Amino acid sequence: MSDEFLGHPKGLAFLFGSEMWERFSYYGMRALLVLYMVDYLLKPERVEHVLGLAALKQMFETLSGPLAAQPFASQIYGLYTGLVYLTPILGGWLADHAWGRRRTIALGAALMVVGHFLMAYEPAFLFALLLIALGCGAFKPNISIQVGELYVAADARRDRAYSIFYLGINIGAFLAPLVCGTLGETVDWRYGFACAGVGMAIGLLTYLAGLPKLPPDRPQRVEDAAPAGSAAALRSAILALSLLFPPSALFWAAFEQQGNTIVLFAEKLTDRSVGFFGWRTEIPVTWFQAFNPLMIILFTPMLVEWWARRATVGAEPSTLRKLSIGCLGLAASYLILAFAAAGTEQGRASWLWLLVYFIAITLSELHFSPITLSFVSRIAPAGSRAMLMGFWFTSMFVGNLLAGWIGGYWSKLTSAQFFLWVSTLGFLAAAIVEAARRPLRKTLSASPG
């Protein structure tokens, strides 16, 4: 049996599979979350039975004033998705300094299995979200770092490995709305959430099966860690990540509208009907959440091949150039929706506008998200990689909190005004990346990876 997977170490296949099923569970639940809250859980006859929900609403209203169901659901969504990217600081520290990557990843997967199944029990809704967030924190930074640890220093395949890994993420994310979303939206919410739990259990088993092919947890010896783990290298890495922190937060604040206000746009302001030869039906709302991952599956191999060919003639876009392209593409995607939404005053926008939006935002994501993971893996000192990956994920925490706050304005603005506002975040993010190019290039040239 070959020890390679698409020209990469065999361990990448198991990390690919584990992350695929973890994302199946995450995006399966995410596809349902806002709809579940707005259309079911936050109804007056049910809301009082959810433990801790009244206290959480009081906390939000202290900051922003009275909240109707939709803004409250958007803020819960933002807080939850934000916590998913804050807890990796703890998960990274545990892996670097206490349990090692393998045990931390396995624990995180187990917590998520329990959390997803608990989502089917209404009173435990907030506790279930907390368990999933804690599990993601233990799982996500460490499995991302393990991808980079499959390669020796300066291996040119690393950027492309993260793009392949990202493909696995999006196979799971594509299947999730079609399976979990359909079950939850058309049969019963509980079946959709339970299906996400089954997916996470498969992810845990896949990871455990692949342990012999994964980087081992070796004790970090002082003499091994000194050069790369020096205080100077750590300070340089933190400075570089801090410079990219604001554009990352802005990117995710706009991007994460997909599971929030884009769901509401698809439900209320989009003509979802399709027909062939006299047969007509309506696209389920949750199925739109499959557009982005499907396009990543389709576009990633072509983009990776394109970059590889450009690299042979020394013309592959630099890491920083890819990030700028991603931010500008993000801005363009929301300008497309703003144009589409301008015509919804007389009716609903065609679902084809959402298709074009997802094409644009997918290409922007492929130039941003996997490239930042590769960037962190490359510049992080050996003894602090998972913790720094956790620090990086806090930019997504801030972005997701901001996404929830921004989503609260959906019912206060016209949809066209809302999308124009969101598009400015992409332009601002691109400007910050360009302004930081010089110090970031210096960090990249000095990094050992």
Read off the CATH number of the domain in which 436 is found: 1.20.1250.20
Nearest-angstrom CA–CA distance, 100 and 205: 18
**Model confidence band, residue 449 (pLDDT cutoffs 50, 70, 90):** very low
Residue type, 46: R
Predicted pLDDT of residue 446: 55
Whether 24 is covered by a domain: the verdict is: yes
Whether 413 is covered by a domain: the verdict is: yes
Nearest 5°: CA angle at 189, between 184 and 193? Answer: 85
Asked if pLDDT for residue 85 goes beyond 50, the answer is yes
**Distances in whole angstroms, Cα of residue 239 to Cα of each of 83, 235, 429, 430:** 23, 6, 17, 18
pLDDT digits 0-9 by tens, 404-418:
889 888 888 899 999
Mean local confidence (pLDDT), 195-202: 95
Exposed / middle / buried, residue 435 (Cβ in 10 Å: 0-12, 13-18, 19+) = exposed
Residue type, 33: L
pLDDT digits 0-9 by tens, 11-25:
888 999 999 999 999
Whether 2 is covered by a domain: the verdict is: no
Whether 225 is covered by a domain: the verdict is: no
Whether 39 is covered by a domain: the verdict is: yes
Total count of domains within the chain: 1
Nearest 5°: CA angle at 357, between 353 and 358? Answer: 120
Predicted pLDDT of residue 230: 66
Contact 138, 132 (CB under 8 A): no
Nearest-angstrom CA–CA distance, 415 and 418: 5
Predicted pLDDT of residue 417: 93
Whether 217 is covered by a domain: the verdict is: no
Predicted pLDDT of residue 223: 40
Q: pTM, whole model, 2 decimals? A: 0.74
pLDDT digits 0-9 by tens, 336-389:
999 999 876 667 889 999 999 999 999 999 999 888 877 887 777 766 776 777
Whether 219 is covered by a domain: the verdict is: no
* Full residue range of the structural domain in which residue 71 is found: 12-212+231-273+285-446
Q: Which residue has 């360009």 as its token pair?
A: 434
Nearest-angstrom CA–CA distance, 381 and 225: 8
Nearest-angstrom CA–CA distance, 259 and 237: 32
Asked if pLDDT for residue 248 goes beyond 90, the answer is yes
Q: Which residues contact 268 (CB under 8 A, 6 or more apart)?
A: none
Q: Which residue has the higher pLDDT, 380 or 328?
A: 328
Whether 4 is covered by a domain: the verdict is: no
